[in-house]
Amino acid sequence: MSFLATFEKLSWDQTLASIAEKGATDVERALARPTGGVTLDDFQALISPAAVPYLEAMAQRSHQQTVERFGYTQQLFSPVYLSNVCSNVCTYCGFSALNRIPRKILSDEEIALELEAVKALGMDHVLFVTGEANRMVGVPYLKKAFKIARERFSSISMEVQPLDQADYEELMSAGLSAVLVYQETYHRDSYAEVHLRGMKKNFEYRLETPDRLGRAGMKKIGLGALYGLDDWRADSFFVAAHLRYMEKTYWRSRYSLSFPRIRPHEGDFSPKTVLTDRDLIQIICAYRLLSPEVELSLSTRESASFRNHAYKLGITTMSAGSKTNPGGYAAEKDSLKQFEISDERSPGELAAMLHQGGYEAVWKDWDASYDKVPEVMEAMA
């Protein structure tokens, strides 16, 4: 069993037609649903053109539901890029194998320096990121990085190449608590157009990665699309369908969604579609109304001005002080980057902005001591 079976029953073109047919009555019906009662059909109405006049109402409802579940908090994190070596040829990515850029894989000593620099920023959670190069940056390498990180951080997440279930189980035993894996686009033809070589060409294997994570018992699983590869409304719906499937099938796991928009990078790629700031606000609010429990993340790809206004509308997690190149925190070099960031504020500056808005910055995602609770409860019984 996997999401692939559900995916095969959905039609991209029919989805677009259904979204276009939604009217004011459909939007009002979706907004009238109780918390947790929004259906996938309602979600189509909330991301439709008909919902644009209702953005203020959606934003107010999204803010209310977020505060009810998560309080006035924002979790902060900084990604640590371990490597920019990649065996894939993806036309939209700065790490693509055909791009003539210097390549780097951090040594154990360099990883320790990066982690010390990130720890000094106040972080107690680390997200490891790599290019997809399983032979050079595979499970053995990641386990060594986790061992170094466990001495300094409460929790470890990663955004690397998709792996088998057994690999995830091995990494969980080494301290991994969350994995982010984005389908990029759910349109098969567009996916094939931008993934020209490497393991990432395998659409089905990538699509079934969250299932392997769910079966492994991963604590948190991140989903999402890269906006600009195809129609944003259709991709948003397919992400929503994937989320709904995962929440029902692997209900013990937590889930997060991200909304990356294509940013400038090494290479030459023009987005097929443009997701405006207004469109992104509409997506964020629609996802919150669909799922009161899902964590919504906003990265430094977005401008400081946009993030200053958008975080209260449903966001629960924000990156800060991000460096998208291996060794970027410790060495302060500006080369080898995957993409350009927009919000260059430090974590301290972002935390100060949140404090002024009545929010508290949270510096960790999970604590290893929580893992001992079932053992303690069993012993007490």
Q: Where are the domains of the chain?
A: 3-380
Residue type for 2, please? Answer: S
Query: DSSP label at 372?
Result: G
- Residue 377: Cβ-neighbour burial (10 angstroms; 0-12, 13-18, 19+): exposed
Please give the backbone phi and psi of residue 293, each rounded to the nearest 5 degrees, phi first.
-95, -20
Rounded mean pLDDT of 237-241?
A: 98
Reduce the secondary structure of 63-87 to three states and give it as a string: HHHHHHHHCCEEEEEEEEEEECCCC
Rounded mean pLDDT of 47-63?
A: 98
Rounded mean pLDDT of 308-315?
A: 96
Using only C-alpha atoms, what is the Rg of the chain? 20
What are the structure tokens assigned to 231, written together? 């129609």
**Using CA atoms, how far apart are residues 36 and 254, in angstroms rounded to an integer?**
16
Query: DSSP label at 105?
Result: B
Rounded mean pLDDT of 77-85?
A: 94
pLDDT at 380: 53
Q: Residue 376: is its pLDDT beyond 80?
A: no
Topology annotation, domain 3-380: TIM Barrel (3.20.20)
CA 126 to chain centre: 14
Q: Are 128 and 152 in contact (CB under 8 A)?
A: no
Percent of the chain as helix, strand, coil, to the nearest 5: 45, 15, 40
- Residue 57: Cβ-neighbour burial (10 angstroms; 0-12, 13-18, 19+): middle
Q: ∠ CA(219), CA(220), CA(225), 5° rounding?
A: 155
Q: Are 322 and 302 in contact (CB under 8 A)?
A: no
Dump strand ranges (E) for the chain.
Answer: 73-83, 89-90, 125-130, 155-159, 176-180, 195-197, 220-224, 254-258, 295-298, 317-319, 360-362
pLDDT at 266: 43
**Using CA atoms, how far apart are residues 253 and 255, in angstroms rounded to an integer?**
7
What are the structure tokens assigned to 31, written together? 């907004």
Q: What is the pLDDT of residues 33-50, one digit of tens each?
A: 999 999 999 999 999 999
Q: Where are the alpha helices (DSSP H) in 32-163?
A: 40-46, 55-70, 108-120, 139-150
- % of the chain beyond a pLDDT of 90: 81
Q: Tell me the sheet residues that pair with 222.
A: 180, 256
Question: In 3D, which of 273, 291, 292 has the Cα closest to residue 233?
Answer: 273
Q: ∠ CA(34), CA(27), CA(51), 5° rounding?
A: 125
**Using CA atoms, how far apart are residues 68 and 59, in angstroms rounded to an integer?**
14
Instruction: Give the C-alpha distances (Å, rounded to integers) separating 10 from 3, 15, 241.
Output: 11, 8, 9
Q: Where is average pLDDT lowest: 94-98, 192-196, 255-259, 282-286?
A: 94-98
Q: What is the pLDDT of residues 211-227, one digit of tens each?
A: 999 999 999 999 999 99
Question: In 3D, which of 121, 77, 90, 125 has the Cα closest to residue 367?
Answer: 125
Rounded mean pLDDT of 184-205?
A: 97
pLDDT at 101: 84
Handedness of CA 78, 205, 224, 344 (dihedral sign): positive
Query: DSSP label at 248?
Result: H
Within 10 angstroms of residue 34's Cβ, the number of other Cβ atoms is: 6
Q: Are 206 and 200 in contact (CB under 8 A)?
A: yes
Q: Identify the band that residue 334 occupies on the pLDDT scale cut at 50, 70 and 90.
A: low
Buried b (16+ CB within 10 A) or exposed e, 290-328: bbbebbbbbbbbbeeebbbebbbbbbbbbbbbbbbbbbb
pLDDT at 94: 83
Residues 6 or more apart in contact with residue 252 via CB below 8 angstroms: 217
Q: What is the pLDDT of residues 261-304, one digit of tens each?
A: 987 554 567 888 889 999 999 999 999 999 999 999 999 989 99
